[in-house]
Structure 1
């Protein structure tokens, strides 16, 4: 037991919160030992697992994918890593643009040019536009489908989402799923493969379904039904295209027509 650490010591060493450590435990990702009094202690194996979780999370794996990997089940790592590489390439392009802006400013200073406050602010704002391209692009789209009141509701709703929510990992998971669905179609919407995609799709929708209202859901449906009108060069990337969206609607309808339920969604709406 001398090599074991208390949960507070693990928090200090890893930077994870105690809430996150307990969450990983409930998901079966890590299994700390217990003292006679019931206190959690983390041995070498549990600490190694926490390191593996951090590495896999940085690569874009979801917690369910990690659980399957740790259990020895197959995971489509190729598709997931391909989607992650695409996201990293996009980020690298944004960073490169910002670097060029900064280099231009340094060059002008080295040449003796005096940059006043207004010019300096313009350079900063230009850099922010490059590194925040995604949110600004989405704003142009959501302005077309959501009223100011609905957007205010979204802002309040998203504040309720777990502070440990990783937006980058979440985007990578959507790209991974969209890539695999695109590669699989055409398949029958009633097939086991298609229905497996339905399960994954609605599991990923969990953060959305937990905070959305029926009106917000309908506006979002309309936005994606018309995505062929706004998808194109310079548009935001939702992680899937119109063919994937249309197929998932057919697969979801097939589920409902057969009397099935939609995981992590209908249960959330019963209290609305």
Structure 2
């Protein structure tokens, strides 16, 4: 299909790697509008697809839908570009800070995942029971202070 042409929902789904249900949901939530034929077939422009792509990227990053909707609809509530730009800038700055905090948490989680996986490799050929009492010299048991995930994996110590 040539650039600038409208695309049916199936084509959009294929381009974005999502489902028709997801796109219809975003439309029902007021995040996007479609053009429709008399028979109800939805058609989307390249601009609509770019908007869908941004929505999906934010949603896939775990940004709450209410915040995505706020970002998508804030400009229309202001009389001037200056007012709306300041409001959107504040939203984007807050979102940026939240994403940076989430990235820091994910970096820590990535390190803990690697540490836990490497530690567990020492148990690949272990014949002992995978418990504190069954394998008291286990490397997992010795490294519990260094990994939250190892504490989750290892059985809970009951006193």
TM-score by length of 1: 0.37
Deviation at 1:70, TM superposition (A): 2.7
Mapped partners of 1:49, 1:118: distance in 2: 55
Alignment partner, residue 105 of structure 2: 90
Q: Deviations over 1:115-162 (max 9, x none)?
A: 41558x8899x9xx62996xx9xxx9xxxxxxxxxxxxxxxxxxxxxx
Q: Residues of 1 paired with 2:15 and 2:101: CA distance?
A: 32
CA offset digits 1:219-246 (Å, max 9, x no partner): xxxxxxxxxxxxxxxxxxxxxxxxxxxx
Taking the TM superposition and a 5 Å limit, the aligned residue runs for 1:176-255 are none
CA shift, 1:96, in A, is 0.3
Q: If each structure's helix is expressed as a fraction of its own residues, which one has the higher value?
A: 1
Would the aligned equivalents of 2:55 and 2:68 in 1 still touch at CA under 8 Å?
Answer: yes
CA–CA distance in 2 between the matches of 1:118 and 1:5? 59
Q: Report the Cα distance in structure 1 between the residues aligned to 2:118 and 2:24, rounded to whole angstroms.
A: 45
Residue 38 in 1 paired to residue 62 in 2?
no
In structure 2, C-alpha distance between the alignment counterparts of 1:45 and 1:65, rounded to whole Å: 21
What does residue 51 of structure 1 align with? Answer: 53
Distance 1:39 1:132 in 2: 53
Alpha-carbon distance in structure 2 between the residues aligned to 1:131 and 1:92: 17
Secondary structure at the counterpart of residue 41 of structure 1: strand
Query: Conserved in 1, the CA contact under 8 Å of 2:7 and 2:43?
Result: yes
Higher relative contact order, structure no. (Cα contacts within 8 Å, ≥ 6 residues apart): 1
Aligned residues: 125
The SS at the match of 1:57 is: helix
Call closer, same or farther: CA 1:33–1:94 in 2, change over 3 Å. same
In structure 2, the CA distance between the partners of 1:83 and 1:97, relative to structure 1 (3 Å rule), is: same
Structure 1 pair 23–115 and aligned structure 2 pair: CA distance change class (3 A): closer
- Structure index of larger Rg: 2
CA contact (8 A) 1:60 1:81 kept: no
Cα RMSD of the aligned pairs, angstroms, is 3.7
Structure 2 SS opposite 1:48: helix
Distance in 1 (CA, whole Å) between partners of 2:150 and 2:38 is: 51
> Following the alignment from structure 1 to structure 2, what is the Cα–Cα distance between the partners of residues 131 and 23?
39
Q: Which runs of 5+ in 1 are unaligned?
A: 109-113, 141-272
Residue of 59, 80, 91 corresponding to 2:95: 80
Shift of residue 105, structure 1, vs aligned partner: 6.3
Counterpart contact for 2:58–2:68, Cα < 8 Å? yes
